[in-house]
C-alpha cells in the first residue's frame, strides 16, 4: 500500500516523497532500536535469572557436584534414578500434594464462604475485609514465630483455647503427626483472606438478572449457589487454585522458622527438599533434579487446568 | 427470621475478624508483656512493658539489619518499577516485528517459581562475585513480568490520541513516556510500587541464600538467625523482634490497603 502511495505521489512530485519515505524507514529503524533498548534491561534479567536457571538446573542435575570443588563429575541420569527409587522422595512429593491440597481446598471453601458473607450489605464489612487480608502481606517468618508461640504446648494460646473446651491439644510442631497440620493451619490463616477478596471481586461482577429469573422460578439459595454462582465463578476459582498451588509448593519461610522441615521429615515439602539438598547437603545434582521435577509438576498442573478451563469454564 | 439471619451474618463477620486478627494481636500484646507474666496465660498484657524491645534489639544487630532491609527494599522496588515501565511502554507504544512472540516469552517467565531458580541463581551471583552484596540480594529479583503486564494493560487503555498529539508536537518517546504516559498511569504505578515494596521487605529465602555474614542480613533472615543461634527461649524478646519486621508493613498496609489489595489480586480479573 505504501508502495503505490509512494509511486503515485512520485509521478506528481519528483523529489520530496523519496526523501519522506527514506526518513520514514529511518524513523521505523529508530523505533525498532528504541524498542530493543527499552526491553533490554528486563530481557537480560529474565533471561539470566528466570530462563537460564531452568537450563542450568538441567545441567547440574546430570552431575554429582558438591558446589565447591572445581571438578564437576558427570553422572547422567543417576540422580533421577536415585530420587525416583527412593521412598523418601516419594513421601516428599506426597506430603507436598497433601499439604497443598488441604490448603487449596480449605481456601476455596472457606474463602468463598467468607466472600459471600463479605458480599452482603453488612456494616463494617470493609473493615473485616481489610483485616482479613492483612495476614497475607505480613512476613511469613515473623508470623510463623507468633504461631510457634501460639502452638507452644505449655504456654500457647492454642492450648488455652482447646483447654476451655476440654480438649488437650497435641504438641503441634514437635509432634510428627501434627506438625504438617499446624503448617496447614498457618497457611490457611495467611491465605483465606486473600482468596476471599479475590472471590468478592468475582461476585461483584455477577449478572443480577440471572438471579432474578431463577428466583421467580422458585430456586432456593443453595440451588442458586450451585447452579449459578459457583459455575460463573469458575474462572476465579481457577485463578485461586493455580496461585495457591504455586504458593504452597514454594512454601518456605514459615517452614524455616517453625519446623526446619521436621520433626524427622514430617514437614519436608518439595521446596524444603530442594533447599536442603542445595544448601545443606551441598548436592547440586539432587537439588537440580528436584527443582526440575517441581517445575514439570507445576507446569503440568497449570496446563491441565488451562485445558479444563477451555472445556468446562463458563465465561461471562 | 430476618433479624435472625442478619444476626448470624454479623456473628460470621465477627468470627472472621477475630480469627484473622488474633495472631496479629497476640504478637503485639505478647511483645509488651513482662517476661514473668508470659508464662501465665492472659488475654491482656499487664500494662506496657518495653523491656522486651530492649532485649530484642540487643539480641541481634538490628540496626544493621534495618539498614539492609531498607536499602534492599527501596533499591529493589525502584529498579523493578523502572525496568517494568520501560518494557511496558515498549510493548504498548513501540513497534517491532515479532513483538507478540517477544511478549509471550516475557510472560512465560511468570511460570518459573522462585524455588526452582534458587540454586542456579546463587551459583550465578557467586560467579559474579555478588555473594554478600546488595547487588546480589537485589538484582536477581528486579526483572519483572507481572508489574510490566499490569502497566502495559493500563497503558493500552490510554487513548492513542494523546500520544499522537504529543508526537505531532514533536516530542520523542522518552518525553512522551515521562510527560504524558507516566502522569496518566500514576495510580497503576503507585499500586505496583507499593506491592513491590511489601514483597521485597518480606522476602526471605533469597536474602537467606545470597548472604552469609551477619552484617548483610535483612530483618526476616536475622530473625531466623536468632532462632538458630539461641533458640526461642525469651518469647517476649522474640515477639518484639518480630514486631520490628511486621510494623512497617502494617503501617503501609493500612495507609495503602486499596493499592495493595488491587495489585495483589489483579491477576484474577486481568490475567
What does the pLDDT look like over A238-274, one tens digit per residue?
A: 989 999 999 999 999 999 999 999 899 999 999 999 9
Q: Is A296 on the interface with B (CB under 8 A)?
A: no
- Interface-testing mutation among A27, A60, A148, A149, with chain B (most B C-beta atoms within 10 A): A149
What is the full DSSP assignment across chain A?
A: -HHHHHHHHHHH-SSHHHHHHHHHHHHHHHHHHHHHHHHHHHHHHHIIIIIHHHHHHHHHTTB---SSSS---B-TTHHHHHHHT-HHHHHHHHHHHHHHHHHHHHHHHHHHHHHHHHTS--TTHHHHHHHHHHHHHS-HHHHHHHHHHHT-TTT-HHHHHHHHTT-----GGGSTTTHHHHHHHHHHHHHHHHHHHHHHHHHHT--HHHHHHHHHTT--HHHHIIIIIHHHTHHHHHHHHHHHHHHHHT--HHHHHHTTT-STTTT--HHHHHHIIIIIS--HHHHHHHHHHHHHHHHHHHHHHHHHHHHH----
What pLDDT shows up at residue A192? 97
| Residues of B with Cβ-Cβ distance to A45 under 8 angstroms | 83, 139-140, 142-144
- Enter the pTM of the model: 0.90
Architecture of the B59-266 domain: Orthogonal Bundle (1.10)
Q: What percent of chain A has pLDDT over 90?
A: 63
Asked whether residue B93 carries a pLDDT value surpassing 70, the answer given is: yes
- Window 40-69 of A: residues touching B by CB (8 A cutoff) are 41-43, 45-46, 48-54, 56-57, 60, 67
* Three cell numbers, residue B50: 518495653
What does the pLDDT look like over B181-212, one tens digit per residue?
A: 999 999 999 999 999 999 999 999 999 999 99
**Shortest alpha-carbon distance between residue B197 and chain A (Å):** 11
What pLDDT shows up at residue A29? 87
Q: How many CB pairs under 8 A join A and B?
A: 284
What pLDDT shows up at residue A90? 97
| Residues of A with Cβ-Cβ distance to B89 under 8 angstroms | 38
What does the pLDDT look like over B229-239, one tens digit per residue?
A: 878 888 889 99
What pLDDT shows up at residue A311? 65
- Window 199-238 of A: residues touching B by CB (8 A cutoff) are 201-202, 205, 236
Contact B118 A274 (CB under 8 A): yes
ipTM confidence? 0.92
What pLDDT shows up at residue A1? 36
What pLDDT shows up at residue B2? 60
| Residues of A with Cβ-Cβ distance to B102 under 8 angstroms | 39
Q: Which residue in A201, A88, A160, A253 sits closest to B115, CA to CA?
A: A253
Given A42, A117, A149, which is nearest B239 (Cβ)? A149
Given A132, A189, A194, which is nearest B23 (Cβ)? A189
pLDDT bracket for residue A314 (50, 70, 90): low
What pLDDT shows up at residue A8? 43
Contact B119 A54 (CB under 8 A): no
Q: Is A74 on the interface with B (CB under 8 A)?
A: no
Amino acid at each position: 500500500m505504501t508502495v503505490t502511495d509512494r509511486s503515485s505521489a512520485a509521478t506528481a512530485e519528483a523529489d520530496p516523497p523519496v526523501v519522506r519515505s527514506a526518513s520514514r524507514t529511518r524513523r521505523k529503524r529508530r523505533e525498532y532500536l528504541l524498542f530493543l533498548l527499552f526491553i533490554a534491561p528486563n530481557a537480560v534479567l529474565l533471561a539470566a535469572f528466570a530462563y537460564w536457571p531452568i537450563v542450568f538446573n538441567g545441567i547440574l542435575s546430570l552431575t554429582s557436584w558438591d558446589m565447591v570443588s572445581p571438578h564437576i563429575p558427570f553422572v547422567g541420569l543417576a540422580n533421577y534414578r536415585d530420587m525416583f527409587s527412593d521412598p523418601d522422595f516419594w513421601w516428599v512429593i506426597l506430603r507436598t500434594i497433601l499439604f497443598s491440597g488441604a490448603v487449596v481446598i480449605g481456601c476455596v471453601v472457606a474463602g468463598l464462604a467468607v466472600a459471600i458473607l463479605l458480599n452482603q450489605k453488612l456494616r463494617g464489612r470493609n473493615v473485616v475485609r481489610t483485616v482479613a487480608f492483612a495476614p497475607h502481606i505480613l512476613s511469613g517468618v515473623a508470623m510463623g514465630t507468633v504461631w510457634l508461640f501460639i502452638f507452644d504446648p505449655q504456654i500457647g494460646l492454642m492450648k488455652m483455647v482447646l483447654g476451655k473446651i476440654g480438649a488437650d491439644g497435641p504438641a503441634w510442631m514437635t509432634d510428627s503427626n501434627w506438625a504438617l497440620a499446624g503448617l496447614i493451619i498457618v497457611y490457611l490463616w495467611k491465605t483465606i483472606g486473600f482468596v476471599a477478596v479475590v472471590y468478592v471481586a468475582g461476585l461483584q461482577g455477577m449478572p443480577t438478572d440471572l438471579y432474578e429469573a431463577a428466583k421467580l422460578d422458585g430456586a432456593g439459595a443453595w440451588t442458586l449457589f450451585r447452579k449459578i454462582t459457583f459455575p460463573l465463578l469458575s474462572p476465579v476459582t481457577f485463578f485461586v487454585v493455580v496461585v495457591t498451588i504455586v504458593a504452597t509448593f514454594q512454601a518456605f519461610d514459615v517452614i524455616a522458622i517453625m519446623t526446619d522441615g521436621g520433626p524427622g521429615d514430617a514437614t519436608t515439602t518439595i521446596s524444603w527438599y530442594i533447599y536442603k539438598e542445595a544448601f545443606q547437603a551441598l548436592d547440586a545434582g539432587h537439588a537440580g533434579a528436584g527443582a526440575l521435577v517441581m517445575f514439570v509438576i507445576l507446569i503440568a498442573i497449570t496446563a491441565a487446568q488451562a485445558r479444563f478451563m477451555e472445556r468446562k469454564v463458563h465465561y461471562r | 427470621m430476618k433479624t435472625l439471619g442478619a444476626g448470624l451474618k454479623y456473628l460470621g463477620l465477627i468470627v472472621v475478624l477475630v480469627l484473622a486478627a488474633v495472631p496479629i494481636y497476640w504478637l503485639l500484646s505478647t511483645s509488651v508483656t513482662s517476661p514473668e507474666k508470659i508464662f501465665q496465660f492472659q488475654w491482656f498484657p499487664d500494662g506496657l512493658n518495653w523491656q522486651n524491645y530492649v532485649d530484642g534489639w540487643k539480641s541481634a544487630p538490628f540496626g544493621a539489619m534495618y539498614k539492609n532491609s531498607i536499602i534492599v527494599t527501596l533499591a529493589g522496588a525502584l529498579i523493578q518499577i523502572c525496568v517494568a515501565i520501560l518494557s511496558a511502554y515498549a510493548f504498548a507504544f513501540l513497534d517491532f516485528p515479532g513483538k507478540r512472540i517477544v511478549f509471550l516469552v516475557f510472560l512465560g517467565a511468570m511460570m518459573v517459581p522462585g524455588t526452582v531458580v534458587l540454586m542456579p541463581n546463587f551459583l550465578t551471583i557467586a560467579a559474579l562475585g555478588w555473594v554478600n552484596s546488595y547487588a546480589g540480594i537485589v538484582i536477581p529479583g528486579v526483572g519483572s513480568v507481572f508489574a510490566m503486564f499490569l502497566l502495559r494493560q493500563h497503558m493500552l487503555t490510554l487513548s492513542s490520541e494523546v500520544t499522537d498529539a504529543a508526537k505531532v508536537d514533536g516530542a520523542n518517546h522518552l518525553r512522551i513516556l515521562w510527560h504524558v504516559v507516566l502522569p496518566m498511569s500514576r495510580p497503576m504505578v503507585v499500586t505496583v510500587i507499593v506491592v513491590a515494596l511489601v514483597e521485597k521487605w518480606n522476602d526471605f529465602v533469597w536474602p537467606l541464600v545470597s548472604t552469609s555474614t551477619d552484617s548483610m542480613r535483612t530483618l526476616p533472615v536475622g530473625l531466623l538467625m536468632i532462632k538458630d543461634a539461641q533458640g526461642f527461649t525469651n518469647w517476649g524478646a522474640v515477639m518484639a523482634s518480630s514486631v520490628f519486621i511486621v510494623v512497617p508493613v502494617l503501617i503501609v498496609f493500612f495507609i495503602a490497603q486499596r493499592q495493595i489489595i488491587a495489585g495483589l489480586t489483579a491477576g484474577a480479573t486481568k490475567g
